[in-house]
Structure 1
Amino acid sequence: MFWKEMWESHRGRLIGVAGGILFGSIYLIAGFWNMLFFALVVFIGYTLGKRKDLSQSSLVHWRELGQWLSSRWRPFK
């Protein structure tokens, strides 16, 4: 019951932290021991999951960025 309630109310955060732990663990196993980077990856996963839970907008506004880039840089004029 507890896990079901947690999953329903904090799904994005749980997925974000799990993803952060997974990618952080891969980095720690494959690379050298760098706990600050591991903590950063977990924090980023948590933050993205929290934004999904709260239905907030994306950190990067991709459509506006694409329009700005296409107006500023046209390689095939």
Structure 2
Amino acid sequence: MFWQFILENRGKAFGLAAGFIFGLLFLWVGFLKTIVFAVFVATGFYIGRKFDNEEDVGEVLDRILPGKFTKR
């Protein structure tokens, strides 16, 4: 029954787990450190998605730090 709920409601289950983890982080380390952690997780997800879609990560990094990742 538990696994059936998880499989039928993946988004809700993921959101519940993520909210629980970030809630615990907030209690243990504080608000600012939790926000910094969330930014790192989101950045890692974004770059990982670029790799999965076989997109050029250099273009993304070049937008962030112009001229540092391109050969001229």
Task: Give the TM-score category using the shorter length.
Answer: 0.3 to 0.5
* Higher RCO (CA < 8 A, seq sep 6+): 1
TM-score, with length taken from structure 2: 0.39
